[in-house]
Amino acid sequence: MSSISVSPRSGSVVGVVGVVLAAALAAGCAMLPSADVLDAQAQAAMKASFRDQGIAKADRVNQDLAQLACSTDQPASPADTKRIEAQALATVRWPTGGQYVGDWREGEKLAQNGRGMTWTDASAAPKDNGGNCYNCHEIDRKEISFGTIGPSLWNYGKIRGVKEVTDPASAPIVQYTWGKLWNSKAYTACSNMPRFGHFKLLDEEQIRHIMALLLDPKSPVNQ
pLDDT attached to residue 43: 82
More confident residue, 161 or 46: 161
- Which pLDDT does position 5 carry in this prediction? 41
pLDDT class for 11, splitting at 50, 70, 90? very low
- In the chain, where the domains are located: 86-222
Percent of the chain with pLDDT over 90: 69
Sign of the alpha-carbon torsion through 105, 110, 111, 115: positive
pLDDT digits (tens, 9 = 90+) for 185-217: 999 999 999 999 999 999 999 999 999 999 999
What kind of fold does domain 86-222 have according to CATH? Answer: Cytochrome Bc1 Complex; Chain D, domain 2 (1.10.760)
Confidence of residue 28 (pLDDT cuts 50, 70, 90): low
% the chain with pLDDT above 70? 87
Q: Please say if the pLDDT value at position 10 is more than 50.
A: no
pLDDT of the residue at 7 = 43
Please write the tens of the pLDDT for every residue from 60-74.
Answer: 888 999 999 999 889
Residue 48's pLDDT band (cuts 50, 70, 90): confident
Long-range contacts of 191-199 (CB under 8 A, 24+ apart): 192/136, 192/149, 192/150, 193/136, 193/150, 195/88, 196/131, 197/92, 197/93, 198/88, 198/91, 198/92
What is the pLDDT at residue 9? 47
Q: What is the pLDDT of residue 27?
A: 58
Q: Output the DSSP codes for 91-104.
A: H--PPGGG-----H
pLDDT at 12 over 90: no
| 146-192 pLDDT, tens digit each | 999 999 999 999 999 999 999 999 999 999 999 999 999 999 999 99
CB atoms within 10 A of CB 160: 16
Which residues, in sequence order, are bridge partners of residue 56? Answer: 53
DSSP 53: B
Minimal CA–CA distance to 194: which of 205, 183, 209?
Answer: 183
Query: What does the pLDDT read at residue 147?
Result: 97
Chain segment 82-120, per-residue pLDDT in tens: 999 999 999 999 999 999 999 999 999 999 999 998 989
Whether the per-residue pLDDT at 21 is higher than 80: the answer is no
Mean residue pLDDT of the chain comes to 89
The predicted pLDDT at position 59 comes to 87
